[in-house]
Amino acid sequence: MLGSLRSMLLLYSPSPRYGSLFALYLGPHYTVVVNNNQHAKEVLLQRGRDFAGRPSMVTTNLLTRGGKDIAFSDYSPLWKFHRRLVHNSFTLFGEGTSRLQDIVLSSVDSLCIELLSGGRCGFDPSPAVTRAVTNVVCTLVFSATYRPGDAELQEVIKYNDGIVQTIARGGLVDIYPWMKMLPNKSLSKLKDCIIIRDRLLTRKLEEHKTSQMNSVPPLPPHIQASQSEDEPRDLLDALLKGKTGSGQGHRSSGPEDEGITDDHVLMTAAEAFGAGVETTSTTLLWILAYLLHHPEVQDRVQKELDEHIGSERAVCISDRGRLPYLDCVINEGMRIRPVSPVLIPHTAITNSRIGNHSISRGTRVLINMWSIHHDPQQWDKPDLFNPDRFLDDQGQRVTPSCFLPFGAGPRVCVVFMDLLTPKIQKGRRTGSKLIDSPWNFPYRIQLNT
């Protein structure tokens, strides 16, 4: 659905004819399209819970065994519990540990060697970047690290690409579900990729279960920051340990009472690839492309690195505060080419409103992030790549409130919360309900809705 819609929305936005908010029927589905920042924040933050649902679609139901993941699952007590479990599992790699950094730096080393091996010949960096990012996610999820030509890594890259391409293209089948009865090349390809994915991930899951059964005492519920022998090695380990007793972890009735099942664990692992690889590699590749076309920006980044880091050691996460210009370049890359130009569709789980318009329960809401990140009323010359727009007159980092590359509110990207934002975790630990974003968003993000 998004594939065909996306081009249409890009053409229409921000259009004086259709305005900042318009509605259309996608087949039988009444759908509201949000084109501006103010309405997007209403949907995502101010009334985030009202709009935290997800529609049921043929392709995503196939992909996620009927919504046993985070991204495409509808809002429910079990979804909230599942999301919290994933959040806790990600803390393994976040604040207080250098594990994510070590994994990334090791992958960056291999990537640099690969990129330099071509000498001065021109080359396409995208396969190497995708391999490096996939390797990071493989280590994060099931502790595997592959060499570039490894057959299993190639398999992961191939099925993941197949899934991303078919899901991104969507199609009429997500609007008219009965069309799944007709021959459909894209759906067949998706099914084939899912079979390969599930075979590989089930094998990894079984290996993890066996090694947990053979190991001594289970971890206490709170995951320790420092690694010890019985600490989870990776996301699969953490989810398996966390799912024990999950049936009592939330209050619900009906089929959700079974709690977090093996299917949920498997779909979460699968989603780390689906949601993590394409987003991260596309962002990196766009930034590379813009750096190529803006050598003056490249020079400034290099100068900042030379001054504050030098050439004796690798850059690490704690250097971030010392590298404001590099931070601006990354942000400008995510602004000008948002990886999710239209966010994953939201649905209203209750009657609500956007601006002065009433919205009935069940309405689908599409947030047009492309339009928000290119709104000339918010951004000066929005089509120009200009990292300086994230610096104020004193050279201090600023983050305009209409910059939302990870979404916001109850459905904000899980990685935005878990890996990139240590302060958010501090906020949660001290029990505060409203939290400051470390990127100085001038608004507050509401958690625990």
| Residues found near ligand HEM in the complex (CB under 6 A) | 70-71, 83, 271-272, 275-276, 279-280, 283, 334, 339-340, 343-344, 405-407, 411, 413-415
Closest approach of ligand HEM to the CB of residue 83, in Å: 6
Whichever of 196 and 339 has its CB closer to ligand HEM, that residue is: 339
**Helix residue spans in 183-294 (DSSP H):** 185-214, 235-243, 262-293
What is the closest distance, in whole angstroms, from the C-beta atom of residue 394 to ligand HEM in the complex?
28
The C-alpha atoms of residue 332 and residue 390 are separated, in whole angstroms, by 8
Least distance from ligand HEM to the Cβ atom of residue 40, Å: 9
Which one, 187 or 272, has the nearer CB to ligand HEM? 272
- Closest approach of ligand HEM to the CB of residue 35, in Å: 15
**Nearest Cα to Cα of residue 286 among 343, 332, 218:** 332
Cβ distance 98 to 238 under 8 Å?
Answer: no
Q: How far is the CB of 215 from ligand HEM (least distance, A)?
A: 25
In this chain, which residue has its C-beta nearest to ligand HEM?
A: 407
Rounded Cα gap, residues 51 and 364, in angstroms: 9
Pairing of strands 434-435, 352-354: unpaired
Minimal distance, residue 310 CB to ligand HEM, in Å: 27
Nearer to ligand HEM, 312 or 333 (CB): 333
Among residues 20 and 283, whose Cβ is nearest to ligand HEM?
283
Instruction: Judge whether 328 is annotated as a binding position.
Output: no
Longest CA pairwise span in the chain (Å): 66
The answer to whether residues 91 and 85 touch, using CB atoms and an 8 Å cutoff, is no
* Positive or negative torsion for Cα 350, 36, 399, 98: positive
Comparing CB distances to ligand HEM, the nearer of 104 and 194 is 104
The sign of the dihedral angle between the CA atoms of 428, 414, 262, 132 is: negative
Of the pair 76, 184, the CB lying nearest ligand HEM is at 76
| Helix, strand, coil abundance in the chain, percent, nearest 5 | 55, 5, 40
Residues pairing with 435 in the sheet: 445
Q: How far is the CB of 69 from ligand HEM (least distance, A)?
A: 7
- Rg for the chain, CA atoms, rounded: 22
- Whole-angstrom distance, CA of residue 437 vs CA of residue 445: 7
Minimal CA–CA distance to 241: which of 269, 209, 263? 209
Nearest alpha-carbon partner for 204 in 140, 136, 150: 140
Nearer to ligand HEM, 160 or 279 (CB): 279
Residue list, annotated binding site for heme: 413
Residue list, annotated binding site: 413
